[in-house]
Amino acid sequence: MELFDLLIKLALVVAVFTIALVIAMYSTYAERKVAAFLQDRLGPNRAGPYGILQPLADGGKMFMKEEIIPSKADTFLFILGPCIAMMTACMTGVVIPWGNTLIIDGKAYIMQVTDINVGILFAFAVVSIGVYGIMIGGWASNNKYSLLGAIRASSQMISYELAMGFSIIALIMTTGSLSLRDIVEQQSGFHWNFLYQPLGCLLFIICAFAETNRAPFDLPECETELVGGYHTEYSSMKLGFYLFAEYINMFISAAIISALFFGGYNFPFLDKIDAPHNVITLIGTAIFFAKIIFFIFFFMWVRWTLPRFRYDQLMHLGWYVLLPISILNVLVTGAVTLFRNGQFHF
């Protein structure tokens, strides 16, 4: 790799990082506006026109607040928890293909930080480490609410990870690749995977809600029972990191859902457009972001529509319903794929 390539990669890394942060910031604003819209209120409207500067004001406030570490807490782990949550949230963006190739000086550069052949596995590995952030923070607080919230969060996340894993396996059986770029490229035009894997897609979206601790699965921070859940004792930017990490995770989940099941940067009639390659690439990227924003809106829509589950209902859904259905989905996908390829014989 030459120096120029390295610089391009570095620019992409910084761009992805910044975009993730900005989208996460404005998701907090969008969440409140969407909530206000769904509940017939106005929402934030004081900071700037239509409250557009609200996220900046909130960020500034978070920075200037007093940093409180409870005297009974384990100081090192208390600080480590939110750091891990934030780190893992930022790391997943590297494997997502944000667009096709850009041709500069006759050389093609992919609009993706890195295209590794274990893309999905990397994303899930990093997401799984995020559980440690919540678990460590909740335990280190030495507060009963935090402890309960943390235990709930971790057992919820690991329960739904199984169904998620199986729904991914059904998808990989049809694509034959773990690289996210390969999967997106196979969906060119309108061959989007949700048409071939409708059940897998539904399972994946449900599990994504549970993995990001979003309503109706937001029991870890269920304020009616647990005050603030695992971040009860947190203040200042440490609290900010937990909230931020949740919104970045939501953004990344929306990106992975669109890339895996809704065609990523592909759109119908892509090959009908008569335009230079780079222009089409940029249109594709814009389409990809439109899909992501739609899914972020979908996350919010669901949050303000559905009531929260009870804990036993949550576990029941994960282990009794989603897990068997996802295993069945793998088997049916396997049988149908073999049948269509004419390999179904003994």
138-167 positions binding other proteins, by CB under 8 A? 139, 141-148, 151, 154-155, 158-159, 161-162, 165-166
**Residue 36 beta carbon to other proteins: minimum distance, rounded to whole angstroms:** 29
Residue 174 dihedral angles phi and psi, to the nearest 5°: -85, -30
Nearer to other proteins, 104 or 331 (CB): 331
Instruction: Check residue 83 for interaction with other proteins (CB under 8 A).
Output: yes
Residue 319's CB is within 10 A of a number of other CB atoms, namely: 14
Mark residues 255-294: x for contact with other proteins by CB under 8 A, - for none. ----------------------------------------
Candidate list 3, 40, 64, 274; residue touching other proteins; CB under 8 A: 64
**Residue 133 beta carbon to other proteins: minimum distance, rounded to whole angstroms:** 11
Nearest to 50 by CA among 64, 38, 37, 63: 37
**Residue 175 beta carbon to other proteins: minimum distance, rounded to whole angstroms:** 9
Nearer to other proteins, 258 or 326 (CB): 326
Mark residues 119-138: x for contact with other proteins by CB under 8 A, - for none. --xx----------------
Candidate list 46, 72, 105, 269; residue touching other proteins; CB under 8 A: 72
Nearer to other proteins, 293 or 336 (CB): 336
**Residue 318 beta carbon to other proteins: minimum distance, rounded to whole angstroms:** 9
Candidate list 19, 35, 36, 62; residue touching other proteins; CB under 8 A: 62
Candidate list 96, 178, 208, 322; residue touching other proteins; CB under 8 A: 178
Contacts to other proteins from residues 91-120, by CB under 8 A: 91, 93-94, 113-118
What is the total count of residues that contact other proteins (CB under 8 A)?
Answer: 91
Contacts to other proteins from residues 227-246, by CB under 8 A: 227, 232-233, 236-238, 241
Candidate list 3, 40, 71, 106; residue touching other proteins; CB under 8 A: 71
How far is 77 from 139, CA to CA, in rounded Å?
9
Nearer to other proteins, 56 or 286 (CB): 56
Nearer to other proteins, 119 or 284 (CB): 119
Instruction: Check residue 173 for interaction with other proteins (CB under 8 A).
Output: yes
135 burial (CB, 10 Å; 0-12 / 13-18 / 19+) is: buried
SS3 labels along the chain: CCHHHHHHHHHHHHHHHHHHHHHHHHHHHHHHHHHHHHCCCCCCCCCCHHHCCHHHHHHHHHHHCCCCCCCCCCHHHHHHHHHHHHHHHHHHHHHCCCEEEEEECCEEEEECCCCCCCHHHHHHHHHHHHHHHHHHHHHHCCCHHHHHHHHHHHHHHHHHHHHHHHHHHHHHHHHCCCCHHHHHHCCCCCCCHHHHCHHHHHHHHHHHHHHCCCCCCCHHHCHHHHCCHHHCCCCHHHHHHHHHHHHHHHHHHHHHHHHHHCCCCCCCCHHHCCCCHHHHHHHHHHHHHHHHHHHHHHHHHHHCCCCCCCHHHHHHHHHHHHHHHHHHHHHHHHHHHHHHCCCCCC
Instruction: Check residue 223 for interaction with other proteins (CB under 8 A).
Output: no
How far is 251 from 202, CA to CA, in rounded Å?
18
Contacts to other proteins from residues 303-332, by CB under 8 A: 311-312, 315-316, 319-320, 323-324, 327, 330-331
Structure tokens that stand for 229 in this block: 């859940």
**Residue 39 beta carbon to other proteins: minimum distance, rounded to whole angstroms:** 27
Mark residues 14-33: x for contact with other proteins by CB under 8 A, - for none. x-xx----------------
